[in-house]
Structure 1
Amino acid sequence: MPRQRFTYLIFIVITIITGLLSRYFKAVPLFIGDILWATMVYFIARFLRVKKPMKFALTAGLLFCFAIEFSQLYKAPWINELRHTLFGRLVLGEGFLWSDLLCYVVGIGIGILVDKLINKNAHSRGFSVT
């Protein structure tokens, strides 16, 4: 179990660093950050519930990402002020976009593909991450 959590923690950190770097380089399209954000959410779900199947992380990740995106339609002054902080921008986002929902599906899909590759390689070495 600790090995599984450590693996997901490493992927969370790598995804965060890659996502932040994607905002730093102007040549990288902005939607890449949204894809990576959803991938990170998937890995966090796997980290928190390592015994649950991938379907749990898929469902939890999509529900969380979609809830955050739809919450951007709520424009109360207090949450808008929060969205103008670094934390608010990174976690809550600033404006609703339908295209972000597609990015989240792609990001969760990437997380699942990476997860399956990890499991395939770990299983062939006698370990299992599922």
Structure 2
Amino acid sequence: MFRFNRVYFGLAVALFFIEVAIALFVHDKIVRPYIGDVLVVILIYCFVKSFLNLPVMTTAVCVLLFSYTIEILQYFNLVQKLGLEHNKLARIVIGSSFGWEDFLAYTIGILIVIFVEIIVAKKQLQ
């Protein structure tokens, strides 16, 4: 079950740097709010797969449910309720703004993961 996978880890690190770049330098109405959310679930998926040898669908569904949970906690203003509204890291990690469209972005990100994993699996069988 536990196994380090450097390919997934490398992807997670690359996606992390892309997410940081988006957060620091992109201030638009498409890339930052939507593409960033699509990429974040892919980042989380890759990070989990870096250390756990779990089936694709199990990992994908767990990451999607985790993402949905974080979004729901944003709806209930968790950061404020924990008294962390002035903590920049907490606002970034947990998030502070709820949006129904984020659920769609997370779902699209996981569908991309599943699609890519299917393609990679088929190529490995050839």
Answer yes or no: same fold by TM over 0.5: yes
| Residue identity matched to 2:8 | Y
Query: Residue in 2 aligned with 1:26?
Result: 27
Change (3 A) 1:56 1:21: same
| Residue identity matched to 2:37 | D
Using the aligned pairs only, state the percent identity. Answer: 25
Query: Residue in 2 aligned with 1:10?
Result: 10
Match for 1:91 among 66, 89, 93? 93
TM-score by length of 1: 0.76
Question: How big is the shift at 1:89?
Answer: 2.5
Query: Residue in 2 aligned with 1:58?
Result: 60
Q: How many residues align?
A: 121
State the distance in 1 between where 2:123 and 2:27 align.
35
Change (3 A) 1:58 1:35: same
Cα pair 1:62 1:104 within 8 Å, conserved: yes
Cα pair 1:39 1:108 within 8 Å, conserved: yes
Residue ranges of structure 1 left out of the alignment (5+ in a row):
125-130
Change (3 A) 1:7 1:118: farther
State the distance in 2 between where 1:80 and 1:37 align.
25
Question: How big is the shift at 1:86?
Answer: 3.1
TM-score by length of 2: 0.78
